[in-house]
Amino acid sequence: MKIVSPVFILLLLISISCKNDKAQPTIKTAEVSFIKNAELHIRKGENDSIIKTIDIEIADDEYKTQTGLMYRKTMEENQGMLFIFPDAQVRSFYMKNTEIGLDIIYINADKQIVSFQKNAIPFDVTSLPSVVPAQFVLEINAGLSNRWNVEVGDKISWEKL
């Protein structure tokens, strides 16, 4: 009967361990592209004048509303995403897997802006709720709602393509 040396066993274990430590291949996913579904107008509440017109992608099913702008590296200044829900209720969004800083604009069933979460931080999982019930949510690049002087009481309208 042969006795295996402890040094041999140690070398064998190190060898096996090193084989399992190989770096796993990185899985690359295709970048998600913006798809223009409609044009959206943001209007001043007191006089209905157009503040800004942007191209929007519409999220109106469960997959799109759950995914939103996740995994996107950029969004143009004249673009946004409009989430359309079947009813108005207090909504809450977060920035998990979202690489773009955003202004999140909550809009009631009458298409009137009711609250904001401005300058949402990329990848932050903190809950960002609406102050009151909202049926629509518009996401635009962080800082644009201030630059465009969008306020609670302003309204939106859109035309699908």
pLDDT category at 1 given cuts 50, 70, 90 is: very low
pLDDT of residue 109: 98
| pTM to 2 decimal places | 0.81
Domains of the chain (ranges, CATH numbers): 26-160 (2.60.120.1140)
- The pLDDT, as a whole number, for residue 32 is 83
Q: What is the pLDDT of residue 74?
A: 94
Using one digit for the tens of pLDDT, what is the confidence trace for 77-112? 999 999 999 999 999 999 999 999 999 999 999 999
Q: Which residue, 154, 156, 117, 110, is CA-closest to 134? A: 110
Q: What is the DSSP string of the chain?
A: -PPPPHHHHHHHHHHHHHHHTSPPPPPP-PPPPP---EEEEEE-TTT--EEEEEEEEEE-SHHHHHHTTTT-----TTEEEEEEEEEEE--EE--TT--S-EEEEEE-TTSBEEEEEEEEPTT----EE-SS-EEEEEEEETTHHHHTT--TT-EEEEEE-
pLDDT tens, residue by residue, 112-136: 999 999 999 999 999 999 999 999 9
Q: Token pair of 129, please?
A: 């709720």
| pLDDT over 90 at 15, yes or no | no
pLDDT band at 139 (very low <50, low <70, confident <90, very high): very high
24 pLDDT tier (thresholds 50, 70, 90): low
